[in-house]
A and B are shown apart, each in its own frame.
Chain A
Amino acid sequence: MRDNPVLRVVTKITIPIILLFSLYVQFHGDYGPGGGFQAGVIFAAAFILYALVFGTQAVRIVVSPSILRLLTASGLLLFAGVGTVTMLLGGHYLDYDTLAQNPLLGQHLGIFLVELGVGITVAAVMITVFLAFAGRRD
């Protein structure tokens, strides 16, 4: 599909827009529909689109399997780490009130970090799964 100029150009234009939209959904999940899961899937969709048009080898150059492994684990580590930090600060596990002076601010911070962790892991897992299927017949 990389011989088709229309697909190539349109993909190159839309991929940054998709990535930007996924970041918007991630960080505005507090004020409208959205959040970590949707944002992670949309982020992965941008990479899948790139792989469909330019081939899996091109995606492996952009995001290598070791980076994907690292990202998959670090999102989950971030989520569990927030819980451990709140325990070390004196509250229960995942009690975000302890993260800042003002409990509301602590909740905001906790939800921000937790959704970020969710978004990172979901994006990395979706890209990994797609590359595992698509690269099977290389």
Chain B
Amino acid sequence: MDMFALYNYWVVIFLMMTGFYVVIASGNLVKKIIGLNLFQASVFILYISMGKVSGGAAPILRETVQTYSNPLPHVLILTAIVVGVATTALGLALVVRIKEAYGTTEEDEIHSQDESL
């Protein structure tokens, strides 16, 4: 029974690892950024599931509720989501400029163009 109480975390770690795999194994820059976003989204799920209290409710104070889920991870992840989209926007802008400068978005072709300079 001890193991099954943690399976939630293990599934989320598996999702994090798929995102991580996309980042390190793909050659295309846009796919790397998409993988980074997948990684980020699963980290958010990990944090939020750490803040959940069984039997609790959403942290909006009202008369009928006794226990609330922890509001602190929510605040942290709210900030993290928005910072994540800011990073993604900047990364994608860089990819557009790289494509215009090198003519390709594949990592190995960019390396070979750099080395042949």
Task: Say which one of A56-64, A72-80, A108-116, A129-137 lies at the interface with B.
Answer: A129-137
Q: Assess the A133–B92 pair: CB atoms within 8 A.
A: yes
Q: Assess the B82–A37 pair: CB atoms within 8 A.
A: yes
Q: Which residues of A contact B (CB under 8 A)?
A: 31-33, 37, 122, 125, 129, 132-133, 136
Least distance between B108 CB and chain A CB atoms (Å) = 25
Can you list 15 contacts pairing A with B, beta carbon distance less than 8 Å?
A: A31-B60, A32-B60, A33-B58, A33-B60, A37-B78, A37-B82, A122-B82, A125-B86, A129-B89, A129-B93, A132-B93, A133-B92, A133-B93, A133-B96, A136-B96
Give a binary string over B80-103; 1 marks a CB under 8 Å from any A CB, 0 the rest: 001000100100110010000000
9 additional contacts, CB 8 Å, given A31-B60, A33-B60, A133-B96?
A32-B60, A33-B58, A37-B82, A122-B82, A125-B86, A129-B93, A132-B93, A133-B92, A133-B93
Q: Select the residue from A31, A122, A129 with max chain B CB neighbours within 10 A.
A: A129
Least distance between B59 CB and chain A CB atoms (Å) = 10
Least distance between A77 CB and chain B CB atoms (Å) = 19
CB closest residue in chain B, given A129: B89
Q: A32 contacts which chain B residues (CB < 8 A)?
A: 60
Kindly list the 6 A-B residue pairs having the minimum CB-CB distance in the complex, ordered from nearest.
A129-B89, A37-B82, A32-B60, A136-B96, A37-B78, A132-B93
Least distance between A43 CB and chain B CB atoms (Å) = 14
Q: B92 contacts which chain A residues (CB < 8 A)?
A: 133
Q: A133 contacts which chain B residues (CB < 8 A)?
A: 92-93, 96
Q: A122 contacts which chain B residues (CB < 8 A)?
A: 82
